[in-house]
Structure 1
Amino acid sequence: MPRTAALLRLAAAAAASTRASSASAARRLCPSSDGSEEHAATREDGRLPPTHHRPPDPDERRPPRRGEHRRELLSITMASRDHSGLTRQLLDFKHDTIDEVGAEHDPFIDLKARFMDFKQRNCVEKISNYQSLAEQQTPKFMVIACADSRVCPTAVLGFQPGEAFTVRNVANLVPPYEHEGSETSAALEFAINTLQVENVLVVGHSRCGGIQALMSMKDDCTSGSFIKNWVSIGKSARLSTKAAAGNLSFEMQCKHCEKESINSSLLNLLTYPWIEKRVNEGTLNLHGGYYNFVDCTFEKWTLLYREGLEGGSKYAIRNRSTWS
């Protein structure tokens, strides 16, 4: 029995000591309203004595030195750890990083795999050709195609790196020659005069949104829309379509205009003096192409331009064929 009583007294004293530590820590965090701190001490019987206030020490009113708040909070956390378990929960909590949160939604994962495949096929396996392309490009074609994501000319026609100098814009339009020029005009100048390409291919396609915008315009339309201002380049194709297919449905009119606008762009190419010169010399050929992704067919033709052609016309279409 004496041994049991002694053990009970020791346990009570330990519990009181723990309570006293927690209470002291809490009082350090929350000082009394008069600025003094309450200090608790345990008596030998394990009970807390009555609290009392003492005059505040002037040093206790000074601003805390750098790092004191951190040490005080740390001591409070250590004192209360065994009771609340909050510290252990925080330590055990797993914070996901940005990479872990967004990895499954990263759109570049697939692009990276495609690039590595491209690198293997075009750089590693054809290293000599790749090194040659790194020095210069000598494409035989300049391709002017629509920006539509469904009609990439490189994918549709299988161009390899270095084979085609490509420009893409809304509705694959070529503006007529102007001194101010445009991005397409600058690309034409570089391809014809610097790269000395031998063929210019203008590629249109089915269900073109740019052509639909062109055919939807009013005759006297003035708009601040970038798209409408741009597609107005093809007004001549729109007028030709209205004259030839005005009795057809809007869908059929658009289909007619999709091809008519290609010819309009081919004629606009000839307004550039250096293009007309090379066409007359026979060193540059102008071609039209139409990709129908509905039935996956491709139609191509060549514009023949010469002074004094039979019948008095300067223009003619030749070598028309359909790949299906």
Structure 2
Amino acid sequence: MPYKKLKSTDDAIMQIVDGYRHFHEEVYPQQEELFKKLAFEQTPKAMFITCADSRVVPELITQSSPGDLFVTRNVGNVVPPYGQMLGGVSTAIEYAVVALGVKHIIICGHSDCGAMKAVLNPEQLRNMPTVRSWLQHSEVAKIVVEENCKCDGHRDTLGVLTEENVVAQLGHLATHPSVASRLARGDLFIHGWVYDIETSQIRAYDTEKGEFRRIGDGPLPMATPKPRY
């Protein structure tokens, strides 16, 4: 049955609805067996914490199938330190680690990040007090850049801040008890990535060298500390 023609202002939602129809009528039948299997259980390979930016699509970037990634998204790919804000991000981390038993957690920032631009220029957030409060969790990255980086221009500063924010959130992640325990015994691996929207390249944080390296150039850079047990 054809849908009733709506006003031109509703074209955006109709594109989404048409996309669903395509999925339901053409894509789903081709993968029906997979979806029936997923209907009653999930065993994701990794947790993927990234920005809410519409240009960042974890499943597309990693070519993952439904059920492969346990995804959490928020403004600035932030992970609040444990105890400060026991909300959605903290809950998702605990559930992924304890209930789902994920072996990998990826924190992924990206180029041209609006959240990081706002961290550099807080005046943009004058009318967004909730966002301003949330991005306090990225303040540590801002201070690190201001006091240590001899950056050349705003664009360079933004890129360094984006990397430092990922490093900062990795530090926050390690404060969560469920994560800290499994890191200590070498049963969990954490990764810090920065995705470049224009080129599709990903650079990953190498904790031993203290730098980001492009994935594909040698062994996979790892952000996981050495186990103690």
TM range (shorter): 0.7 to 0.9
Cα distance change, pair 127–258 in 1 and its aligned pair in 2 (3 A): same
Report the Cα offset of residue 246 of structure 1: 4.7
CA deviations over 1:174-206 (Å, ceiling 9, x no partner)? 110106512111111111111111110001011
Q: 1:194 aligns with which of 93, 99, 118?
A: 99
Residues 215 and 238 of structure 1 are in contact (CA less than 8 Å); yes or no, is this contact kept in structure 2? Answer: yes
Alignment map for 1:286-305 (pairs within 5 Å): 286-301=190-205, 303=207
CA deviations over 1:61-107 (Å, ceiling 9, x no partner)? xxxxxxxxxxxxxxxxxxxxxxxxxxxxxxxxxxxxx9456379443
| Equivalent-residue separation in structure 2 for 1:202 and 1:140 (angstroms) | 14
Runs of at least 5 residues in structure 2 that lack an aligned partner in the other structure: 218-229
| Equivalent-residue separation in structure 2 for 1:126 and 1:296 (angstroms) | 27
Q: Which residue is equivalent to 1:252?
A: 156
Q: Which residue is equivalent to 1:165?
A: 70
| Equivalent-residue separation in structure 2 for 1:296 and 1:175 (angstroms) | 27
Structure in which a larger fraction of residues adopt helix: 1
Letter in 2 for 1:130: F
Cα distance change, pair 154–100 in 1 and its aligned pair in 2 (3 A): closer
| Equivalent-residue separation in structure 2 for 1:112 and 1:247 (angstroms) | 45
Letter in 2 for 1:172: N
Higher gyration radius (CA):
1
Q: Percent identity?
A: 25
Structure 1 length-normalised TM: 0.59
Q: Provide the secondary structure at the position in 1 that maps to 2:92.
A: helix
Q: Which residue is equivalent to 2:180?
A: 276
Residues 286 and 302 of structure 1 are in contact (CA less than 8 Å); yes or no, is this contact kept in structure 2? Answer: no
| Equivalent-residue separation in structure 1 for 2:157 and 2:24 (angstroms) | 44
Q: Which residue is equivalent to 2:215?
A: 322
Report the Cα offset of residue 275 of structure 1: 0.3
User: Do residues 232 (structure 1) and 125 (structure 2) align?
Assistant: no
Size of the aligned set, in residue pairs, is 214
Q: Which residue is equivalent to 1:182?
A: 87
Q: Provide the secondary structure at the position in 2 that maps to 1:242.
A: helix
Cα distance change, pair 156–99 in 1 and its aligned pair in 2 (3 A): same
| Equivalent-residue separation in structure 1 for 2:175 and 2:9 (angstroms) | 52
Cα distance change, pair 254–107 in 1 and its aligned pair in 2 (3 A): closer
| Equivalent-residue separation in structure 1 for 2:127 and 2:31 (angstroms) | 50
RMSD: 2.9
Report the Cα offset of residue 323 of structure 1: 5.1
